[in-house]
Amino acid sequence: MAHHAGGRWRASRPGPESPEVQAYLDDYAALLEAVHFPSVVFDHRWDVVLSNSAFETLFRGLSPHPTAMPWDNFLRFVLFHPDAGTVLGDHESRWFLPMLAHFAAAVERHGQDRGLQGILRDIAQDPIMHAAYRHGLPHWIRSVGEAAVEHDGSVRPLVHPDPKWGRTDCRIVGETPKTLQDMGYTRMTLVLREPRRRTRDRRTASHLRIV
pLDDT at 206: 42
DSSP lists the bridge partners of residue 73 as 47
Distance CA 211, CA 206 (A): 14
* Contact (CB, 8 A) for 44 and 84: no
Return the number of other C-beta atoms located less than 10 Å from residue 153's C-beta.
10
**What is the reported pLDDT for 211?**
55
Q: What is the pLDDT of residues 28-60, one digit of tens each?
A: 999 999 999 999 999 999 999 999 999 999 999
Spell out, as residue ranges, where the chain has pLDDT lower than 70. 1-17, 196-211
Q: Which domains does the chain have, with CATH numbers?
A: 2-192 (3.30.450)
The crossing angle, in degrees rounded to 10, of helices 114-124 and 97-109 is: 130
Instruction: Give the pLDDT of residue 5.
Output: 37
Residue 145 pLDDT: 83
DSSP 129-162: HHHIIIIIHHHHHHHH-GGGT--TT-EEEEE-SS
